[in-house]
Structure 1
Amino acid sequence: MTNSINLKVESTTIIQESKTSSQQCQICGAPALFSNYGVISCSSCKMFFKRNAELKQDSFICDFSNQCEITLYSRRICAACRLAKCFTKGMQIGLIRGSRTKKNTKRKNKKNSIEPVLSTTTSSTLMITNTNSQPCQLSNQLQLDPPTLSIEQWNLITNLTHTFDEYSGLTTALIFKNQQNLLPYKFRFKLGSVSEFIKFIMTNIPQIIEKNRDFRSLSLHDRSILLRNTIKYSECIGATFILHQSHLLDDPYFNQSNEFIFGSDVMSTIIRLSETFDSDATFVKLIFAIIGFSTIAYTVYSDNITSNLIDIKAVLRIQDKYVELAWQYMVFKYSYEQAVIRFCQLIKFLFKVNFTIVESSRIEEYSNLISSIIQQTEQNLMLNN
């Protein structure tokens, strides 16, 4: 199997509610009931068009020659191609201006009646005072006016998720699964083929970080240190997420072969870990990017002497930028309360990642594979520098 293997993964202002037949969204192919802004479309594509229709097309940048395939599974990856497809299919800006004008009028009236002015108080709580001298807490204002993501932030999310999808090996995992399912039961997921597949996936994972633009802006020394220090985290999260997305862990034959490689205890731990991934795949990919810039030296004790980063401030700035991006994305997409809950669940998830790494490190096959990947990755860094 090689990287050259490709697979196409088939992954509401309502204008006319009379069109309620079960159809496909003309933008991404998801199930759709209504015509929105002149085109049969799902609620997700409807809201995407509503938010971005009046922006200029060149406000979004596609890194792949504006040829991205927009499907149910890839629609959040490239905003430029998604918006272009909305216009190509016939969505019309004029159909959304009426409702938007009304909202803008209400907002203007509200601004005229209450003009917030930040003021400091003797207490540690930041307050907002209006023209009627009626204070209200800042948290209440945030709930009324949730933060938005800038075009630059949306582009960064697009780049990070696109890089993950391109280099993670998910396409190969889906091909491998389909090929194995075509075989008779007794020939499926034999030890040799599963072992080669796992090595391929784990070897691919570091490329996701290597291709990151912020990562490539660092010195060769710091890139090497980061990859070495975070390799077990990135492998554990990245490889398990690929197995989770491809549903390979649902197949008992696949798991049985992996038990011969890693042992039943480790496989049970990996399966439990896969069940705790956040349902938002984009959020998981953003967390993966954050992990790539972690300054954690090791999870289990190592005899190797850990070198210090030359420019740790640059690494922390990148990590802070990604953490803020992940937080604002979750608040924007869900709510402040849901964002807090999901970040708390993330902490529990990372503890489980720690436990999985500790259990896996006891397996000689795993340790040898990690050492091999580190050596190969560092050679690639030297060649690409």
Structure 2
Amino acid sequence: MEQPSTTASEVCKICGAPANFTNFGAISCSSCKMFFKRNAESKQDSFQCDLNNKCDINIHSRRVCPACRLRKCFTVGMQVELIRGSRLRKNVKRQHGIESKLPNWKQKTSVSSQLPTVNLLRSDQSTLTTKQWTLLSNLLHCYDEHSGVENALQFRHEQIRFPLRLRYKLTSTTDFVTLNMARMQQMFEKNVDFRSIGCSDRSILLRNTVKHTECIGATFALYQAGLLHDPLFYQTTATIFGVDIMLKILQLIEIFDSDATFVKLILVITAFSTTKYTVYSGRACNELADSKSVLRIHDSYLEIAWKYMVYKYTYQQAVLRFCHLLRCLLRVNRTIVEVDQIREYKSIIEIVVEQSDKFSINN
């Protein structure tokens, strides 16, 4: 036992999940208990919030911002001293030959919303080269600047100022979703490697991958901004796309990797994918004029993602997380097949592709 625990039959004070015991001084679920135990002593200064420490921590968003989650753990009464006490008791037990069970890979990993800048300079700790560390830093900066998260936050703050009956009207929400998806595509246009390939190949990549990059990128951006857990926003988007689709999107978010840096890397890797996805469309997929250059960029990003995961976690955990990624991508495919039957979604995608083509030609 970690410490004397009491049955509570309540909800976790941190995320709201069902909880039956008091851990380290507060009623908490097993997930928040393990999170606090892993991070309370060593990660207080390294975790940083991307949203000015205003994240809403609940059962769906608890893995998005470790900084706000850890801050809430302390706020509700969790104490580091109780962790130290439990470790002392464990050490005594080990001296008597009692071995503790090994945690599984999800429990063992630490959560980080963003790679700390200082780590980007310590390339000697990883097989990543200095050039790869720099490219990784640039990719994260490009996402943070152009992904649309800031627009989503601004849209949310604007809507909160309105009376309840005027928030998230159908027209304004549809316009926002369309604009946010278009910005997601422009994020790739800002990528130096993307701009290095021919205009025709850029257009083909955008058309062939748009539905997958939007499903992953736009959903992740809305999640980071806290919009998907706003009941009124959810209600309006359910009117546009249907309740079943919105439920699948929430389920998709739940299986996203807890490391936001990894998710951002997978997003840009997907944008350079030459795979002819099974997406139901009336248009045939055109062939890339210089597929070797695109594959070279794609593979270099994939190598960075793998090396980053091995650097951040163990080799075994990196393998398991990539396996979990494959399951997540299969879920993305199934979601796209279903949402692609919705007329409103098709109209939005057509607008996004048209705007992306214009942006590509003008630049």
What's the TM-score, normalizing by structure 1?
Answer: 0.63
Aligned-residue offset at 1:192: 2.4
Partner of 2:135: 156
1:369 aligns with 2:332: no
Aligned-residue offset at 1:216: 1.0
Partner of 1:3: none
1:383 aligns with 2:362: yes
Instruction: Work out whether residues 226 and 293 of structure 1, in 8 Å CA contact, stay in contact via their aligned partners in 2.
Output: yes
Aligned-residue offset at 1:289: 0.9
Aligned-residue offset at 1:182: 3.3
Against the structure 1 CA distance between its residues 79 and 211, is the aligned structure 2 distance closer, same or farther, given a 3 Å change threshold?
A: farther
1:239 aligns with 2:222: no
Instruction: Work out whether residues 146 and 331 of structure 1, in 8 Å CA contact, stay in contact via their aligned partners in 2.
Output: no
- Which amino acid in 2 is paired with 1:348? R
Aligned-residue offset at 1:331: 0.5
- Which amino acid in 2 is paired with 1:212? N
SS of equivalent to 1:248: coil
Deviations 1:180-217 (A, max 9, x none): 23333333222222222111111111111111111111
- Looking at structure 1, the residues matched to 362 and 161 of structure 2 have their Cα atoms a distance apart, in angstroms, of 40
Partner of 2:183: 204
Instruction: Work out whether residues 79 and 158 of structure 1, in 8 Å CA contact, stay in contact via their aligned partners in 2.
Output: no
Structure 1 residues not aligned, in runs of 5+: 1-20, 33-71, 84-144
Partner of 2:326: 347
Instruction: Work out whether residues 114 and 260 of structure 2, in 8 Å CA contact, stay in contact via their aligned partners in 1.
Output: no
- Which amino acid in 1 is paired with 2:238? E
SS of equivalent to 1:172: helix
- Looking at structure 2, the residues matched to 178 and 229 of structure 1 have their Cα atoms a distance apart, in angstroms, of 34
Residue from 268, 272, 278 that aligns with 2:251: 272
SS of equivalent to 1:250: coil
Against the structure 1 CA distance between its residues 28 and 281, is the aligned structure 2 distance closer, same or farther, given a 3 Å change threshold?
A: closer
Deviations 1:239-281 (A, max 9, x none): 1001111121112211110011111111111111111111111
- Looking at structure 2, the residues matched to 75 and 300 of structure 1 have their Cα atoms a distance apart, in angstroms, of 33
Against the structure 1 CA distance between its residues 179 and 75, is the aligned structure 2 distance closer, same or farther, given a 3 Å change threshold?
A: farther
1:327 aligns with 2:327: no
Larger radius of gyration: 1
Task: Describe how 1:126-137 pairs up with structure 2 within 5 A.
Answer: none
Mean CA deviation greater in 299-308 or 222-231: 299-308
- Which amino acid in 2 is paired with 1:313? K
- Looking at structure 2, the residues matched to 361 and 220 of structure 1 have their Cα atoms a distance apart, in angstroms, of 27
Residue from 327, 339, 353 that aligns with 1:360: 339
Partner of 2:316: 337
- Looking at structure 1, the residues matched to 291 and 211 of structure 2 have their Cα atoms a distance apart, in angstroms, of 20
Aligned-residue offset at 1:308: 0.9
Aligned-residue offset at 1:26: 9.9
Aligned-residue offset at 1:297: 2.7
Partner of 1:49: none
Count of matched residue positions in the alignment of Structure 1 and Structure 2: 263
Task: Describe how 1:150-189 pairs up with structure 2 within 5 A.
Answer: 150-189=129-168
Aligned-residue offset at 1:153: 1.2
Aligned-residue offset at 1:337: 1.0
Task: Describe how 1:1-385 pairs up with structure 2 within 5 A.
Answer: 25=45, 76=116, 78-79=117-118, 147-384=126-363
Deviations 1:159-196 (A, max 9, x none): 11111111111011112222323333333222222222
- Which amino acid in 2 is paired with 1:218? I
SS of equivalent to 2:248: helix
CA RMSD of aligned residues (A): 2.9
Aligned-residue offset at 1:146: 8.2
Against the structure 1 CA distance between its residues 350 and 24, is the aligned structure 2 distance closer, same or farther, given a 3 Å change threshold?
A: closer
Against the structure 1 CA distance between its residues 306 and 220, is the aligned structure 2 distance closer, same or farther, given a 3 Å change threshold?
A: same
Deviations 1:63-122 (A, max 9, x none): xxxxxxxxx96663x559x97xxxxxxxxxxxxxxxxxxxxxxxxxxxxxxxxxxxxxxx
Structure 2 residues not aligned, in runs of 5+: 1-40, 50-66, 71-111
The 4+ residue runs of structure 1 with deviation greater than 4 A are 23-32, 72-75
Identity of aligned residues (%): 48
- Which amino acid in 1 is paired with 2:336? I
- Which amino acid in 2 is paired with 1:201? N
Higher relative CO (CA 8 A, sep ≥ 6), structure 1 or 2?
2
What's the TM-score, normalizing by structure 2?
Answer: 0.66
SS of equivalent to 2:255: coil
Aligned-residue offset at 1:285: 0.6
